[in-house]
Amino acid sequence: MIVFIYHFSSLGLGASAVYIFFMLSGFWLHRMWNERYALTRHPYLTFIVSRIWRLAPVMMLVSLITITLLPLLGVPVDLVFSAHPAHLILSSTFLIGYSWMAYLPVLPAWSLDIEMQFYMMAPLLSALIVLPRGRRAVLAIALVSSLAFGLFAPDMHAILPKYIFFFVLGMVCAEQDWRPSAPLAATSAGVVVAVVLVTLIAPWRGIMIRGAAPVDLYEFNPLFNIVLSLACLPLAIYTTALKSDDTDRMMGDMSYIIYLLHWVTTPWFGSIKGPFTARLMVAGASFALVPGFAWLIWKFWDRPINRLRAQWVASRLEGPRSAFTTRLRAVSRSDFPIPDNRVPVHPAGRPRNPRPADSAASLPPRHPAGPALGSDPSGA
């Protein structure tokens, strides 16, 4: 909804919402890969097919709706179809390359292109992040990459290296099992709200207010959005541990649909040249119509297709965690594992009591499929 508001106002906050989404995406993808997809037959293939299956149906339907309505809202037909037909069809289905079209019928989908690029690398990144040394190296490289592209290629926005730090930061939070406390999450929310409100009334509010001719301060808006998204990280990660019900899951699914569908109403809003009240009425109608149509798409299109996808992924589960992933988890506990034939030593120098050979018999049997898999808002 923040992106929705961004496209209907002068508040330059849309990028921060996208960066938070990238961090949460990295968080959930790392967990899903290690707890679910790594347990399937042909894990990488299953993962990629599942991710496309999750995103493509809504993207294809919204694209069809958008390219049908845009000419009726005054956008020239030759502009809507300026891309090569094959490029338009393939990128609207598989998402890769969507940002490289001359005109994006569904402009917010540029981030889905970045998201799909991340999906292709996520399993490798996840395997490296499990290792302590790999985790530090990947985080450092990702930071350097994002800084380099942000400073020296700011206009090149359609490639993963520019945004990879946000994804990797979310993955590291998942691997570290970081659980921000409620007070820290509240502080995070308070800081974000305070910064926005203070900026709105301060002399430097031009850093956040965009328009037809934004003041020079607006050139710092990208940096402002980065800081804002990082300040919001504790709150975002805190929400991942909260219990969700069917309504929460529905809202999570609908947020993706609204994110794409709202764009078709922006030409209507932009075409209004009358008084402010007229534009306000159009904005109000858009805010009422888009969620309503999004619910219909979720109810009769997205949810049934997503259930089929989830059933397909479940049918490919093989049970115990792969030996490779198990070994990585073991190594991640220590850079110097103790050989089996040595007695572990307490940090103070006293030998630890080795576990009796038959002590495992007294432990309750573990389910062969491992721990129960939790749900997540991205629809694993």
- In this predicted structure, what is the pLDDT of residue 205? 87
Nearest in space to 92 (alpha carbons), one of 68, 53, 62: 62
Tokens 């997540």 -> residue: 376
- In this predicted structure, what is the pLDDT of residue 319? 61
For residue 61, is it within any domain? Answer: yes
For residue 193, is it within any domain? Answer: no
- In this predicted structure, what is the pLDDT of residue 70? 94
Number of domains in the chain: 1
- In this predicted structure, what is the pLDDT of residue 208? 87
For residue 247, is it within any domain? Answer: yes
∠ CA 214-218-219 to the nearest 5 degrees? 120
CB 16 within 8 A of CB 228: yes
- In this predicted structure, what is the pLDDT of residue 380? 60
- In this predicted structure, what is the pLDDT of residue 276? 72
The length of the chain is 380
For residue 100, is it within any domain? Answer: yes
For residue 190, is it within any domain? Answer: no
The CA distances from residue 63 to 69, 151, 261, in Å, are 10, 33, 9
Q: Report the SS3 class of residue 40.
A: strand
Provide block-wise average pLDDT over 10 residues at a time, the chain (380 residues). Answer: 68 90 97 95 96 97 96 93 95 94 94 96 96 93 95 84 97 96 97 94 86 73 94 96 91 94 87 77 88 96 97 87 51 40 41 39 35 43
Domain with 270, as residue range(s), is 2-179+241-326
For residue 49, is it within any domain? Answer: yes
The CA distances from residue 168 to 19, 60, 140, 332, 333, in Å, are 12, 28, 10, 17, 20
- In this predicted structure, what is the pLDDT of residue 332? 47
- In this predicted structure, what is the pLDDT of residue 264? 92
For residue 292, is it within any domain? Answer: yes
- In this predicted structure, what is the pLDDT of residue 234? 98
For residue 224, is it within any domain? Answer: no
- In this predicted structure, what is the pLDDT of residue 270? 77
- In this predicted structure, what is the pLDDT of residue 40? 96
- DSSP state for residue 97 in the 8-state scheme: T
Rounded-to-integer distance, Cα 12 and Cα 236, Å: 20
- In this predicted structure, what is the pLDDT of residue 242? 92
Q: What is the DSSP string of 157-211?
A: -SSGGGTHHHHHHHHHHHHTT----HHHHHHHHHHHHHHHHHHHHSTTGGGTB--
